[in-house]
Chains A and B, each alone.
Chain A
């Protein structure tokens, strides 16, 4: 009896073993997202989107017969953790590529690890510093702040509004936006007449806005991520300021409209195309990816897919395409990534070159306006 059981188990084990030998080992991809902590609004949709798209790829039979395996760690928005976990992904989990981290600070911290260990890293954060200067192993999918600023300034130039006030949040996102707002102004014939900041946890910005009201600017540009800009929008209403208010792509999700409520009406901002996917013209190359992403996200998570999740979606798809082109080692994936041409993703149409690891052009952004609690495209 006992012998029978043993022989059965042995036979089963042998079968299983041989099965695993025959099916090629999965390709391991690491991911670092700030799922908890202050940057959770980035990390959560990123993790969800990455998991979703990996599941779908595997359900469809993987890539070239090989499954993709995603290993996600939560960095809680902490640079130290990002470095430790990047090391863990490379040394213990032996991944061939890393997606993330979610914020610029974490990415800058993780870059030396990726560069030293020769593992491609596709960051989901926006800071221009990440790919400027170009680093051999580092790519990114989030649109540069410079492009978003360019979009607003272009519009202001067209409508002849040349005096602007800027109000930026004092974190990595706001600091980078502030730098771009100030440095690009002269190129568009725009002067920054007042330059103020607010803290990420501030709950009242009337002091800064009262000062801005006195500056006689023709437009106010606020650069931050939720919830600060919603407070600014409300304060602007309370103070009866009639100057047009612009925001950054940091708030281009339904959440912002919910938070600001009535005060959001009429606010304009540059945004990735995902929030207005159904309004795009049929000739838009991204439309197919965008609609698929929005529909899938709704089905899996009963929530609206935003462009933060899109950054992770793009990163996974970029790696998938690299693998499809025959790459299965870290070095080969890096080389294939660099050859990416006109890949129509969520964030825009990506074309990487040895000189450009950000890969996006100005067409990655559209200018949108809040109307009746929804987004419309500003022509």
Chain B
């Protein structure tokens, strides 16, 4: 437990001083998105990695948060700080209600149902033109403000987003190590066994689904207020898959894994931009290699690789 706290404190300090170490500019902007994606990956990981329930529709919850915040602040002149929790509560209740029937399904069927949910939400964004602005998007969303500071630059947004991300991380780490976390893992391994041990598996699944949706919605609101423009294209099926990839590449059932996955998938296209038209091939190839050789994700694969290298060095040293 103490070790966990030490790790988190270290990580937080690293995040807080990163802007001083890195030369600002465009990288700051990318790191803002790493933060948002980390939040989303953690949300999905709680569901997929801990409770073992897949969702291919999480971009939908992310979009709902963004659109609710966007519409409430532009059309109804809500204060962004009010719109954000309102959006989160609405999305949470919705996810809870949908969760009850949907989470009865298992495996491929659950994947199909959540996929459908994501696509329906996407279609609603596109078709309700009067409300959402339709495919050409919703603009003029205000920036967040706190004590006279308007979060309108990349560096300010970096601290805003990472403040929230670190809070979500801390919350998730605590949740994972609590009774609920253990119950979730029990449901993950065997629902029947968990129920026999007195875990209300069905309710627990719905609760974690709603919790996951709330975190996604929060990320969506923050996205809307930092970008100040949203359009349905950012919340489509592709993004749901990208989130899933972040979670799997990073490491299922690990909060830091979600960060690694989100960081890698957000930064990789930037690094590969130099490769011009071949970037997509290299990107795809790297993902395949990683899944093949690090089936446990980066969070387990990197230490294993490190140990291997150390061991080899040791052997050659003796020879």
Chain A interface residues (CB < 8 Å from chain B): 36, 73, 77-80, 83-84, 87-88, 91-92, 104-105, 108-109, 111-112, 116, 127, 129, 170-172, 174-176
Contact = CB atoms under 8 A, between A and B. Distances in A.
Contacts, number: 73
Contacts of B154: 87
B135 A91 contact: no
Contacts of A105: 135-137, 231, 233
A109 B229 contact: yes
A166 B25 CA distance: 47
Interface of B: 24-26, 29-30, 33, 126-127, 129, 134-137, 139, 152, 154, 227-231, 233-234, 273, 280
Contacts of A84: 26, 29-30, 33
25 contacts: A73-B273, A78-B233, A79-B137, A79-B234, A80-B227, A83-B229, A84-B26, A88-B29, A91-B24, A91-B25, A91-B26, A104-B136, A105-B135, A105-B231, A108-B139, A109-B137, A116-B152, A127-B136, A129-B136, A170-B126, A170-B127, A170-B134, A170-B135, A174-B135, A175-B134
Contacts of A73: 273
Contacts of B33: 80, 84
Contacts of B273: 73
Contacts of A111: 139, 229
Nearest to B152: A116
Contacts of A129: 136
B26 A92 contact: yes
Contacts of A104: 136
Contacts of B126: 170-171
Residue of A77, A111, A172 ringed by the most chain B CB atoms within 10 A: A172
Contacts of B129: 175
B interface SS class:
helix
Nearest to B227: A83
B134 A172 contact: yes
Nearest first, the 5 closest Cβ-Cβ pairs linking A and B are: A88-B26, A172-B135, A172-B136, A91-B25, A105-B231
A176 B233 CA distance: 16
Nearest to A79: B231
B60 to A, nearest CB: 16
Contacts of B24: 91
Contacts of B26: 84, 87-88, 91-92
B135 A175 contact: yes
A78 B231 CA distance: 9
A80 B229 CA distance: 9
A191 B124 CA distance: 28
B136 A109 contact: no
B184 to A, nearest CB: 31
A145 to B, nearest CB: 11
B254 to A, nearest CB: 26
Contacts of A174: 135
A109 B33 CA distance: 15
A129 B33 CA distance: 27
Contact of A108 (B152, B229, B234): B229
Nearest to A77: B233
Contacts of B29: 84, 87-88, 91
Contacts of B137: 79, 105, 108-109, 172
B134 A79 contact: no
Contacts of A172: 134-137, 231
Nearest to B154: A87
B153 to A, nearest CB: 9
B136 A108 contact: yes
A171 B16 CA distance: 41
Nearest to B266: A84
B71 to A, nearest CB: 16
A127 B137 CA distance: 11
Contacts of A88: 26, 29
- Which of B231, B234, B280 neighbours the largest number of chain A CB atoms within 10 Å of its CB? B231
Given A170-B127, A170-B135, A109 B152 contact: no
A188 B273 CA distance: 50
B210 to A, nearest CB: 26
B30 A79 contact: no
Contacts of B127: 170
B148 to A, nearest CB: 19
Contacts of B228: 112
Given A105-B136, A108-B231, A170-B134, 4 more contacts: A78-B233, A83-B227, A91-B29, A92-B25
A144 B126 CA distance: 21
Given A175-B129, A175-B135, A79 B229 contact: yes
Contacts of A36: 280
